[in-house]
Every structure is written in structure tokens, then in C-alpha cells.
Amino acid sequence: MSEAGSRPLLAFGAHPDDIEFGCGGVIACETRAGRPAHFVICSRGEAASNGTPNQRTREARNAARRLGAEVEFLDLGGDAHIDLKAAHAIRLAAIIRRRRPAIVLAPSVVENQHPDHARLGRMVRDASRLARYGGVRELRRLAPHAIDLLLFYAVTPEAEPSDLARVLIDVSDPDVIAAWTASMEAHRSQLKTRNYVELQLTRARLNGLRSGLGHALPVFPADSLVFESIAALTKSARRF
């Protein structure tokens, strides 16, 4: 991987399983290629129907290891209590300044999903801006940092934004699928409700079939992507 490609990836999740279910295959692709990845989980699943906070914390640490990522937890009020607050966005911006990622992944801001997802997505979007501003009083102890790219991921198909460009990431490599599957299966407490692993793999398989790939996961850039040449645009989902 190039020097630019080895710069860290920072992924935010509202709950202990969001990152794995929503974009775990993408993470596996990046870490296998040599990019460091760090997860920030903003609750311990306190409101879940299955699993205790301690159990879900252990599951999240295990899942992150399966993807080759580090993980930390941030308390923003607890599961089902994450509110839109400037103070929260500033705390997220401090993490961005501390980790200094090239790419940030956050849950989409579509409202038709668990409310924590959309609220966290909006605050990560705000935090990515605040991390750049040198005059933010609460952040002055950390050097400003501008990320290269903010990408939203969707935990469910219903959370996929219709107003943003859709970029499909090829996650067909068998080792990537194995690591992603293992990371989802690590959340054993949540699989009592329904087979989320099969749901996500089927979703990725359908995206793959639509685009001539084995499996693919969508991400949604917060801003227009910029390329040096159209030569970098090698493939589209539609085969003419």
C-alpha cells in the first residue's frame, strides 16, 4: 500500500455491533492491505434486548480483533440516549485530532433507523469540520487535523441515503469475507434476535450480483470525490 494508503482509518459506531454489521467487510479490505484501523464505539449497548453491557463490550473487542482493528469506548449518554450536542461533537473532534485519520467512517444520517445512528452520523460530520479549526477553545491542546474523506455506512438497507453518491467496495476476497463473518459472529448476544450475519452477507451478495462481483458493500461520500484522472475510474456497476 502507498504511503497515502497506509494513513489510518477511523470508524465510529453508536453501538458495539454497528461497524461490523454496516461496514466490516470494508474494514477487513483496508486492514489486510496494511491500513491501520481504529474503532470508537459510543455506547455499550445498554438498551439492547439481549446481552449485558459487559458482555457486549467483550464482544466488541473480540470483533475488532477479527478485523485487525483497535477499539475504544466513548460515553455519550448511553444506548438510546445519544443526543445532538456541541459538546459531544467537540469530544469526537478531539479523537479525530488525536488519531489523525485519513478516512473517517460514520453511520448514515438517514432518520429511518435507530435514532442513535443518525445523531452520531451528524455529530461525526460536524466533528470532522471542527477538528480543522485552530481556534476551538476546547481543542487547543491538540493540533488541528483535516481528514481526506468522510464516508457514511448504512447498518441496514433502509439507512442507505438516497441523496448521496453510492460507492461499492469489492469485498469478494474469501479472506475478507471470512474475517468479516467472524467479526459479525463475535456479537453472539445480538444473533438471538435474528440472523444478522446472513442478512448482511445476503445484502453484500445482492450488491455483488448487481455489479458483476462476488460481494460488495456500499459507502456514501459526504462530499464529491476528486480524482486526478478519469483513468482512476476503472469500473461501474452497470455493464453496458
Model confidence at 5: pLDDT above 80: no
CA distance 76 to 218: 27
Q: Cell 460536524 sits at which residue?
A: 126
CB 205 within 8 A of CB 166: no
Domain membership of residue 34 (yes or no) is yes
Domain membership of residue 240 (yes or no) is no
Domain membership of residue 237 (yes or no) is no
CA distance 33 to 143: 28
Q: Is residue 234 very low, low, confident or very high in pLDDT (cuts 50, 70, 90)?
A: confident
Domain membership of residue 177 (yes or no) is yes
Q: What pTM was computed for the model?
A: 0.95
CATH number of the domain to which 178 belongs: 3.40.50.10320
Whole-number average pLDDT of the chain: 95
CB 126 within 8 A of CB 104: no
Residue numbers of the domain that contains 191? 4-232
Domain membership of residue 223 (yes or no) is yes
* Residue 151, C-beta contacts closer than 8 angstroms, at least 6 positions apart: 103, 104, 105, 106, 167, 219, 220, 221, 222
Domain membership of residue 239 (yes or no) is no
List pLDDT tens digits, range 127-144: 999 999 999 999 999 999
Domain membership of residue 68 (yes or no) is yes
Put residue 34 in one of left, alpha, beta given phi > 0 → left and psi -120 to 50 → alpha.
left
First to last CA, the chain: 31
Domain membership of residue 17 (yes or no) is yes
Number of domains in the chain: 1
Q: Cell 453511520 sits at which residue?
A: 107
Look at the alpha carbons of 62, 30, 109, 213 in this order and tell me if their dihedral is positive or negative: negative
List pLDDT tens digits, range 155-174: 999 999 999 999 999 999 99
